[in-house]
A and B are shown apart, each in its own frame.
Chain A
Amino acid sequence: MIANSALERTAFELMTKAAIEIPDDYLAGLRRCADTEKGDLSSFVIQAMLENYEAAKEDRRAMCGDTGLPRWYVKIGNEARIEGGPVALETALRRATATATHEVPLRPNRVHPLWRTDHNNNVGINAPEIEYAFHPDADWIDLTTVHKGGLFGSDYRMLFPGDGIEGIRRFYLDTLIGFGKRGLACQPAIVGVGLGGSKDTSVVLGKQASCLRVVGSRNPDPKIAALEDELKEIGNSIGMGAMGFMGSSMVVDCHIEVGYCHTGGMPMSVHMFCLSSRRSTARLYPDGRVEFRTDPEWFTDYSRRSTVEWAQPMAEAAE
Chain B
Amino acid sequence: MAMAGSGLKTVHLNLPASTADLRKLEIGSVAYLTGRVFTAREGVYKHAIEDGAGMPASRETLGLANFHCSPAASINADGSHTVGAVTATASFRFARWLDGWLKLSGCNIIIGKGGMTSDIYRNAFVPNNAVYLTTVGYGTGALLGRGIKRVSGVYWAKELGLAQAAWVLEVENFGPFLVESDLDGKSLFERENEKIAPGLAKLYEGTRPATLRRYGETDNKTDEVI
Contacts of B88 in A (CB 8 A): 65
Assess A59 versus B137: contact at CB under 8 Å? Given A107-B163, A173-B207, A234-B203. no
Which chain A residue lies CB-closest to B136? A48
Assess A116 versus B161: contact at CB under 8 Å? Given A64-B85, A159-B211. yes
The one of A44, A120, A238 that contacts B196, using a Cβ cutoff of 8 Å? A238
Contact B84 A178 (CB under 8 A): no
CB of A194 within 8 A of chain B? no
Binary contact readout A106-119 vs B (1 if CB under 8 angstroms, 0 otherwise): 11110100001110
A275 and B8 alpha carbons, distance in the complex (Å) = 22
How extensive is the interface on chain B, given as a class? 35 or more
A-B contact count (CB 8 A): 224
Which chain A residue lies CB-closest to B6? A44
CB of A287 within 8 A of chain B? no
Contacts of B43 in A (CB 8 A): 116
Contact B137 A48 (CB under 8 A): yes
A186 and B8 alpha carbons, distance in the complex (Å) = 21
Contact A105 B204 (CB under 8 A): no
Contact A246 B90 (CB under 8 A): no
Contact A275 B138 (CB under 8 A): yes
A166 and B204 alpha carbons, distance in the complex (Å) = 9
The one of B8, B90, B206 that contacts A40, using a Cβ cutoff of 8 Å? B8
Assess A63 versus B85: contact at CB under 8 Å? Given A162-B211, A234-B203. yes
CB-CB contacts below 8 Å: B52-103 with A: 69-74, 82-90
A106 and B226 alpha carbons, distance in the complex (Å) = 27
Contacts of B14 in A (CB 8 A): none
Contacts of B3 in A (CB 8 A): 44, 47-48, 51
Which chain A residue lies CB-closest to B178? A41
Contact B163 A108 (CB under 8 A): yes
Contacts of A66 in B (CB 8 A): 70, 72, 87, 89, 139, 141
Which chain B residue lies CB-closest to A118? B161
CB of B49 within 8 A of chain A? no
The one of B69, B146, B226 that contacts A65, using a Cβ cutoff of 8 Å? B69
CB-CB contacts below 8 Å: B140-184 with A: 140-146, 161-164, 176, 178
CB of A31 within 8 A of chain B? no
Contacts of B142 in A (CB 8 A): 52-53, 55-56, 59, 61-64
CB-CB contacts below 8 Å: A72-122 with B: 101-102, 104-109, 111, 116-118, 120
Assess A55 versus B72: contact at CB under 8 Å? Given A44-B136, A167-B211, A239-B196. no
Contacts of B20 in A (CB 8 A): none
Name the distance in Å between A245's Cβ and chain B's nearest Cβ.
Answer: 5
Contact B225 A179 (CB under 8 A): yes
A61 and B86 alpha carbons, distance in the complex (Å) = 10
A184 and B203 alpha carbons, distance in the complex (Å) = 21
A31 and B37 alpha carbons, distance in the complex (Å) = 33
Contact B137 A65 (CB under 8 A): no
Contacts of B136 in A (CB 8 A): 44-45, 48-49, 243
CB of A232 within 8 A of chain B? no
The one of B6, B83, B210 that contacts A157, using a Cβ cutoff of 8 Å? B210
Contacts of A195 in B (CB 8 A): none
Contacts of B115 in A (CB 8 A): 182
CB of A242 within 8 A of chain B? yes
A234 and B205 alpha carbons, distance in the complex (Å) = 11
A267 and B70 alpha carbons, distance in the complex (Å) = 35
Contact B138 A120 (CB under 8 A): no
Contacts of B192 in A (CB 8 A): 41, 244-246
- Which positions in A face B, CB cutoff 8 Å? 19, 40-41, 43-45, 47-49, 51-53, 55-56, 59, 61-67, 101-102, 104-109, 111, 116-118, 120, 151-152, 157-160, 162-164, 166-167, 169-171, 173, 177-179, 181-184, 186, 234, 237-240, 242-246, 274-276
- Which positions in B face A, CB cutoff 8 Å? 3-8, 28, 30, 43, 69-74, 82-90, 113-115, 134, 136-146, 161-164, 176, 178, 189, 192-193, 195-196, 199-200, 203-204, 206-212, 221, 224-226
- What are the 7 tightest A-B residue pairs by CB atom distance, in nearest-first order? A65-B87, A118-B161, A64-B139, A166-B208, A170-B207, A56-B142, A65-B141
**Apart from A41-B178, A170-B209, what 12 extra A-B contacts exist at CB < 8 Å?**
A41-B192, A51-B140, A65-B84, A65-B88, A67-B85, A105-B72, A105-B73, A166-B206, A178-B224, A178-B225, A243-B136, A243-B138
